[in-house]
Amino acid sequence: MDPRVQASAADLQEQFDLSWKLYQLRLRLAPIGKKFDNIAEQLTKLRAKAAERPEVTQKLEAFAQTLMKFGPPHPRPGAPPSLFVLESTTRLFNEIERSDAAPTTAVKAAVADLDKNIGPMLDAWRKLLESDLPALNQQLKPAGFPEVKTEVK
């Protein structure tokens, strides 16, 4: 420990506890993030391939909108899709780890908000994999397009 650090043992314990919680959450979310990125990449390729097929493009766009719900609340136009909850977890973890002090009220509130929203996000992700993605694949098959796979290479 740096002797110049003025944080109390309680402050450092609080920092550790939040860091540990976020670390555990990142472990759960990392595989989802890989699947998310893989699905988004396949979707981009399929959209390019389906440019001349409006009926397929419409189905891909509808699924893309569902996928975008997992992204940031106000994404930059043209920004690549991203799993916002994983980005938030990583950002908060890094913010806590950069400091030798008790987490700020804002950071604690952000972690609590993340913790509150993770359950519904995981439920929505499960629905996407178990229902929405198979439905899209069923629509792509008759049009001669490959299925969107969830396996990460």
List per-residue pLDDT tens for the chain, 153 residues long.
666 667 788 888 999 999 999 999 999 999 999 999 999 999 999 999 998 899 899 999 999 999 999 999 888 888 888 999 999 999 999 999 888 888 999 999 999 999 999 999 999 999 999 999 999 999 999 999 999 999 876
pTM: 0.88
Q: Say if CB 88 and CB 118 are below 8 A apart.
A: no
Distance, CA of 64 to CA of 47 (rounded, Å): 10
